[in-house]
């Protein structure tokens, strides 16, 4: 008689992994979590939120980390990619003005490697702690023939909450300031282009980069910054937040602007990795700005009167910030929504 194990699915290993994942998840739990890992579905006490929020609205986001995974797999470095997964979801939730609540992950592979799985999940736990959200559940799937050996894929799902009257964006007007909160690097977008440039330049991920005593692999795997601790305390002073992900500044800033307004953006100092990619990869400036964050992980729209307070708070939270522009009236209906000066 044939067995599931003979088909390449090790159910017992999957069960053992769940037991080892439980303490990672439990370390992230908030008071509102009901039960623990292992039930058919995860439970969260919404009644507790109703005591804190007058008219709570749930905010959800799902994302992955794209082909950045391929670099992690080639480097055999899996300890930070889980942080990226959390960051990509939670920063989208922040863009609506919401507080993160809980997170679920999906890990799929051709065959489960205990060391890799636990390294990735531990990274997810680190990200959840930083974001003050609970890793409340997930799925680990073993699918023979779907993936090559030691190749895996990730997806994340996050839920947050915000009072309906505080959902961002709101009340953005001409003259508002645009603040750029700096990124930690490339974050998790544009890696198909990055990998292509690295390959064409004949660079190995183990080679040292030109600027740091770090390998290219470690530079590229720098995890996506999580902005929860720096942005939540100043949400009341923010009119709009654009998370600069796929589409770069060109496509993401317009998502928070009324149709009649545009963002006039001044120049800022690009980190070395982006100037290198543009030069060595022969990538035009507009293509860079539509593919990468170019050093700006979050764009905030605030009233001019709040610039000093907001920037002071962000700097005290450990962020690097720049005032990079202002909101203007569109000269014509068909004018661009983002204008670089």
pLDDT digits (tens, 9 = 90+) for 122-178: 999 999 999 999 999 999 998 988 888 778 999 999 999 999 999 999 999 999 999
Asked, for residue 35, whether it belongs to a domain, the answer is yes
> Of 123, 140, 166, which residue is a domain's last?
166
Q: Which residues contact 334 (CB under 8 A, 6 or more apart)?
A: none
pLDDT: which is higher, 171 or 341 = 171
Q: What is the pLDDT of residue 135?
A: 97
- C-alpha–C-alpha distance, residues 258 and 161, integer Å: 23
Asked, for residue 172, whether it belongs to a domain, the answer is no
User: Do 240 and 145 have their domain in common?
Assistant: no
User: Do 157 and 306 have their domain in common?
Assistant: no
Q: How many domains does the chain have?
A: 2
User: Do 191 and 159 have their domain in common?
Assistant: no
Q: Do 302 and 237 touch, CB atoms closer than 8 A? A: yes
User: Do 265 and 144 have their domain in common?
Assistant: no
Q: What is the pLDDT of residue 334?
A: 83
User: Do 28 and 150 have their domain in common?
Assistant: yes
Q: Which candidate, 138, 107, 110, 131, places its Cα nearest to that of 120?
A: 107
Asked, for residue 240, whether it belongs to a domain, the answer is yes
User: Do 305 and 218 have their domain in common?
Assistant: yes
Which residues form the domain of 323? 177-340
pLDDT: which is higher, 17 or 227 = 227
Q: What is the pLDDT of residue 333?
A: 79
Residue 51 has pLDDT above 70, yes or no: yes
Q: What is the pLDDT of residue 218?
A: 93
User: Do 156 and 225 have their domain in common?
Assistant: no
User: Do 85 and 220 have their domain in common?
Assistant: no
User: Do 218 and 330 have their domain in common?
Assistant: yes
Q: How much is the average pLDDT of 60-74?
A: 96
Confidence tier at 39 by pLDDT (50, 70, 90): confident
Q: What is the pLDDT of residue 56?
A: 95
Of the ranges 3-17, 148-162, 232-246, the best mean pLDDT one: 232-246
Q: What is the pLDDT of residue 98?
A: 98
| Alpha helices in the chain, H assignment, sequence order | 11-26, 46-52, 68-75, 81-94, 114-131, 191-200, 216-220, 228-231, 248-252, 272-280, 285-291, 307-316
Asked, for residue 171, whether it belongs to a domain, the answer is no
Provide the whole-model pTM: 0.95
Q: How much is the average pLDDT of 100-109?
A: 97
User: Do 115 and 93 have their domain in common?
Assistant: yes
Q: What is the pLDDT of residue 160?
A: 98
Residue 180 has pLDDT above 70, yes or no: yes
Residue 1 has pLDDT above 70, yes or no: no
Residue 339 has pLDDT above 90, yes or no: yes
> Of 116, 145, 166, which residue is a domain's last?
166
């Amino acid at each position: 008689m044939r067995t599931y194990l003979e088909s390449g699915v090790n159910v017992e290993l999957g069960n053992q992994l769940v037991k080892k994942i439980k303490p990672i998840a439990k370390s992230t739990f908030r008071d509102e979590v009901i039960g623990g890992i292992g039930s058919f579905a995860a439970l969260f006490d919404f009644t507790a939120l109703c005591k804190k929020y007058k008219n709570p609205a749930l905010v959800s986001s799902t994302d992955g980390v794209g082909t950045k995974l391929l670099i992690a797999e080639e480097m055999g470095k899996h300890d930070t990619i889980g942080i990226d997964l959390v960051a990509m979801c939670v920063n989208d939730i922040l863009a609506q003005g919401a507080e993160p609540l809980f997170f679920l992950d999906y890990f799929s592979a051709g065959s489960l490697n205990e060391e890799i799985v636990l390294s990735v999940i531990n990274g997810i736990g680190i990200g959840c702690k930083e974001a003050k959200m609970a890793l409340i559940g997930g799925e680990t799937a073993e699918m023979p023939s779907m993936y090559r050996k030691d190749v895996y894929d990730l997806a994340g799902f996050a839920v947050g909450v915000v009072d309906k009257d505080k959902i961002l964006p709101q009340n953005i007007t001409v003259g508002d300031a645009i603040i750029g909160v700096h990124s930690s690097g490339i974050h998790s977008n544009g890696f198909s282009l990055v990998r292509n440039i690295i390959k064409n330049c004949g660079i190995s991920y183990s080679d040292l980069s030109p600027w740091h005593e770090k390998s290219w692999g470690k530079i590229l795997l720098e995890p996506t910054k999580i902005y929860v601790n720096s942005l939540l305390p100043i949400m009341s002073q923010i009119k709009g937040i654009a998370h600069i992900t796929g589409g770069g500044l060109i496509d993401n800033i317009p998502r928070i602007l009324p149709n009649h307004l545009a963002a006039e953006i001044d120049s800022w100092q690009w980190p070395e990795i982006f100037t290198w990619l543009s030069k060595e990869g022969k990538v035009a400036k507009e293509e860079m700005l539509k593919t990468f964050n170019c050093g700006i992980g979050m764009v905030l729209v605030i009233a001019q009167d709040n610039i000093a307070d907001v920037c002071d708070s962000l700097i005290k939270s450990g962020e690097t910030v720049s005032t990079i522009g202002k909101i203007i009236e569109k000269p014509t209906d068909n004018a661009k929504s983002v204008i670089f000066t």
